[in-house]
Amino acid sequence: MNFEVFDLERIQSIWENRVAYNLTESGVHPFTLSELLPSEERDRLLNTRLGYGQTNGLEELRTAVARIYSDLNMDNVLITNGSAEANFLSVWTLLEPGDEILLMLPNYMQIWGIARSFGITVKPFYLREENDWGPDMDEVRRLVCSRTRMIAVCNPNNPTGAVLSREHMAALVSLAESCGAWLYADEVYRGAELEGEETPSFIALYDKALVCAGLSKAYALPGLRIGWLAGPEKTIARLWAAHDYTSITSGILSNHIAALVLEPEKRQAVLQRTKDLLKRNLTVLQEWIARRSDFLSLIPPKAGGMAFIRYALDINSTELTERLRREKSVFVIAGDCFGMDHFIRIGIGAETDYLETGLNMTGEFLDDISRKIPQSSR
């Protein structure tokens, strides 16, 4: 079995700690334990026995996760090592070689690579810039067939920050029902909305919905490596059995901290911090783009810690981002990593001063090359 190179993760792992300004993160500036927990809770953690714990996740954590959704209990939840393990387990367990998966693009490309390595046919459907990053449902309908075993979405979306309308959600569920497919929803940015209510979950819409989420993005706690899957009890039990063959269990300290974070009052406080920072930083970014509106444009994200920016310069996105890194020590993600040239993804979840400095340096670079490189029509 050959896994293709996961370009986004490989590029980030090589360079993110070797630049002055890393603007590639799609999450939010992480907490310290001192910021997150009162001293009595930290003291309690110091007395935790460092055993394995419950391998599918501590009961109090699974109960806390279930409480986020409608009509679930802890047996509807499996705790994983980050949402990345959740994605892997779901494709590995629920699909077979020769099956077809319809995958929303642009997207975090892990499912793309996993499925292809397992001999599963991946059929992409695209969010369209001209639709404010909404899907073309006629395109999706044309792709569905008797071999479709899963429709996979990322909602809110990485990298665009778009959120599916309720009408699009219902239409995708209807298409999944028409062929008995799973509706797999990566909802890791749910809770990081910049305006309005929390994005509805697919879990309440379909009896074959399986949702993935975790604490790395909206909750600003990537170092805990806590993800989860929520879905039908029998399916969760099957995924737990597969989990025994991968990481077996997630860390006991992370389980305890996550359970505290997901208590209702603490959860709301954590998510409010995320929203406040993202709204402030999005304003900074929009003002920065407005000063370069002759060659930069953005459909503002509705959720999540990133912005997907189109540039109208005749230079490939990988070349542009590599030059920016070499010349200014600023690191952003090329649209090529999502199969979409002439875009860059910039993280907006950093501390505001850090983001502003990184943007200023990026602006100097872009202003300079815009005087030397012709504008493109794309």
pLDDT surpasses 90 at 4: no
Q: Which fold has domain 7-31+267-369?
A: Aspartate Aminotransferase, domain 1 (3.90.1150)
> Contact 357/23 with Cβ under 8 angstroms?
no
Instruction: Give SS3 for 368.
Output: helix
> Contact 351/30 with Cβ under 8 angstroms?
no
Dist. CA 164–CA 270, nearest whole Å: 24
Dist. CA 37–CA 289, nearest whole Å: 37
Instruction: Quickly state the pLDDT bin for 361 (edges 50, 70, 90).
Output: very high
What is the reported pLDDT for 238? 98
Q: Which of 212, 217, 223 is nearest to 271 (CA)?
A: 217
What is the arithmetic mean of pLDDT over 205-213?
98
> Contact 55/244 with Cβ under 8 angstroms?
yes
> Contact 20/209 with Cβ under 8 angstroms?
no
Residues of the chain with CATH 3.40.640.10: 49-263
Q: Which of 13-17, 30-34, 53-57, 371-375 has the lowest mean pLDDT?
A: 371-375
Q: Give the count of beta carbons closer than 10 Å to the beta carbon of residue 172.
A: 25
> φ and ψ at 224, to 5 degrees?
-75, -25
Instruction: Quickly state the pLDDT bin for 374 (edges 50, 70, 90).
Output: confident
Q: Give the count of beta carbons closer than 10 Å to the beta carbon of residue 15.
A: 16
Residues of the chain with CATH 3.90.1150.10: 7-31+267-369
pLDDT surpasses 70 at 337: yes
What is the reported pLDDT for 376? 77
pLDDT surpasses 80 at 1: no
Dist. CA 206–CA 200, nearest whole Å: 13
Strand partners, 206: none
Instruction: Quickly state the pLDDT bin for 312 (edges 50, 70, 90).
Output: very high
Q: Is 4 exposed, middle or buried (0-12, 13-18, 19+ CB in 10 A)?
A: exposed
Instruction: Quickly state the pLDDT bin for 291 (edges 50, 70, 90).
Output: very high
Instruction: Quickly state the pLDDT bin for 7 (edges 50, 70, 90).
Output: confident
What is the reported pLDDT for 333? 97
What is the reported pLDDT for 377? 62
Angle at CA 61, nearest 5°, toward 153 and 211? 10
What is the reported pLDDT for 373? 87
> Contact 249/53 with Cβ under 8 angstroms?
yes
Q: How much of the chain, in percent, has pLDDT values that exceed 70?
A: 99
The CATH number fitting domain 49-263, selected from 3.40.640.10, 1.10.3720.10, 3.20.20.140, 3.40.50.300: 3.40.640.10
Q: Which of 7-21, 82-96, 157-171 has the lowest mean pLDDT?
A: 7-21
pLDDT tens figures, 66-78: 999 989 999 999 9
> Contact 38/265 with Cβ under 8 angstroms?
no
Instruction: Quickly state the pLDDT bin for 2 (edges 50, 70, 90).
Output: confident
> Contact 135/143 with Cβ under 8 angstroms?
no
Residue type, 331: F
- DSSP codes of every residue in 160-213: T-----HHHHHHHHHHHHHHT-EEEEE-TTTT-BSSSSPPPPGGGT-TTEEEEE
What is the arithmetic mean of pLDDT over 31-51?
95
Strand partners, 122: 101
